[in-house]
A = this chain, B = another copy of it.
Amino acid sequence: MSNPADPAPVGAVRQASLRELNLALLLGRIAAAPRPPSRAELATATGLTRATVSAVVDDLIGGGLVTEVDPAPRTGAGRPARGLLLAGHGPAGLGLEINVDYLAVCVLDLAGTVRHRTVHRADLRPVSPAEILARVVDLARQARVDAEAQGLTLAGAALAVPGLVDADGVVRLAPNLGWREVDVPALLAAHPPLTGTVPGLPALVVENEANLAALGELHTGETGATDFLYVSGEVGIGAGIVLDGALYRGARGFSGEIGHLPVYPEGRPCRCGGRGCLEPYAGQEAILTAAGLTGADVAGDAVRLARLAAGGEPATLAALAGAGTALGVAVAGVVNLLDLHTVVLGGGYAPLAEWLIPPVATELSRRVLAAPWSPVTVRPAVLGGDAAAIGAAGSVVRRVIARPTAWLARAG
């Protein structure tokens, strides 16, 4: 009735799992709370006893994951509550991003605050993967020194790459970078480790850029949406799918290839070999060509297009309208399929959102069957150009929050 080759001895709930689960539960609550909650609030919110909450919180404070903030602004009678806050001196996440025209590195602490940030602009298409990684390692080393000077301990790293990444961290295909079968972990093994290691947590995760940027948007939590599609318009078009507050990576980690959704099946040929994919209609190059321009770098191009569009330049407006329509057709399909109610335009699309959203919304209202009961919101991303690096660092941090036992075991 299921796969016989399932030797996984997982899922067993032993005695200690109880504590493990409640540690994660309370730490997650503290992380998600809009203001520092008290132990009593946590108890009523979770249904646990105040006694249990106290015991668990003691562990969290002892492990350096949570701090007590002395007097919360009180109201009414009674002993004042002591607020609980994610520690600003404990574990931190290292986020790395390799893109066509820049490298980005950042460090986030448990609370999600950016504690270090570097963006290194350069055209990386002619540079070899090994050389690019060497530069990333160099930036990461500086980031680590900076983080440790602030009392932080890097608990792991995540690397964003614009391409297909398999479960082992091998970049199968990154067309716009010119990468094919690049074994990132193997190449990094030649360098000293980027971060400290936490037993039970991965030291390095390599992941698609749009996926990590989507996680970044999720954790900023601006809209509070737990199900959305993040569309990243860089040179290619990627998408991150967030379902039930978790990234959906697909069976082999290759999900989100929205750039090759068919929009005009017998239309323009696409790099992928198919015809009429979204990318030759709404990719950066397509937009630039339609606007009568030639491209230099993605971020600059998007800004340039935005300036022209704001000035009312007709060819630019037409180009954006066409791209928006194509994007809307593709996104309508996704929304029909997954019943999402939020679409976030990120990457190069963010500065152009003002002109892209109307045609996208038009196609959505025309084509989404459930629209009358399930209206769809389209909004620009709140994070900027290094969204994927932020999301990468955030994913490391979230992993610690989701499994605090791993960190506590390390800290002793």
Chain A residues proximal to chain B, CB less than 8 Å: 1-4, 6-7, 9-15, 17-18, 21-22, 25, 31-34, 44-48, 112, 164, 166, 172-173, 219, 221, 224, 226-227, 239, 241, 243, 248-258, 260-265, 272-275, 277, 329-330, 332-334, 336-341, 366-370, 373-374
Extra contacts besides A1-B112, A173-B369, A256-B339 (5): CB < 8 Å = A9-B46, A241-B337, A262-B333, A272-B369, A275-B366
Nearest Cβ in chain B — how far from A179, in angstroms? Answer: 14
Nearest residue in B to A332 (C-beta to C-beta)?
A: B262
30 A-B contacts (beta carbon < 8 Å): A1-B32, A1-B221, A2-B221, A6-B32, A9-B44, A12-B46, A13-B25, A15-B18, A164-B370, A164-B373, A173-B369, A227-B250, A241-B337, A248-B338, A251-B341, A252-B339, A252-B370, A252-B373, A254-B370, A255-B337, A256-B337, A257-B336, A258-B336, A260-B336, A261-B333, A261-B337, A262-B332, A274-B367, A333-B333, A334-B337
Nearest residue in B to A366 (C-beta to C-beta)?
A: B274
The interface residues of chain B lying within 8 Å CB-to-CB of A224 are 2-4
The interface residues of chain B lying within 8 Å CB-to-CB of A262 are 263, 329-330, 332-333, 367
Give the docked Cα–Cα distance between A248 and B339 (Å): 10
The residue from B7, B11, B334 contacting A25, defined by CB atoms under 8 A apart: B11
The residue from B219, B227, B257 contacting A370, defined by CB atoms under 8 A apart: B257
Contact in complex: A253, B9 (CB < 8 Å): no
Nearest residue in B to A229 (C-beta to C-beta)?
A: B337
The interface residues of chain B lying within 8 Å CB-to-CB of A261 are 333, 336-337
Give the docked Cα–Cα distance between A265 and B262 (Å): 10
Give the docked Cα–Cα distance between A12 and B44 (Å): 11
Q: Which of A3, A164, A265 has the most CB of B within 10 A?
A: A265
The interface residues of chain B lying within 8 Å CB-to-CB of A226 are 3
Known: A332-B262, A334-B337. A13 touches B9 (CB 8 A): no
The interface residues of chain B lying within 8 Å CB-to-CB of A330 are 262, 333
Contact in complex: A14, B164 (CB < 8 Å): no
The interface residues of chain B lying within 8 Å CB-to-CB of A368 are 260
Known: A1-B31, A32-B2. A339 touches B369 (CB 8 A): no
The interface residues of chain B lying within 8 Å CB-to-CB of A239 are 337
Nearest residue in B to A258 (C-beta to C-beta)?
A: B337
Q: Which of A22, A166, A337, A370 has the most CB of B within 10 A?
A: A337
Nearest residue in B to A264 (C-beta to C-beta)?
A: B265
Contact in complex: B13, A257 (CB < 8 Å): no
The interface residues of chain B lying within 8 Å CB-to-CB of A253 are 339
Contact in complex: B373, A12 (CB < 8 Å): no
Give the docked Cα–Cα distance between A277 and B262 (Å): 12
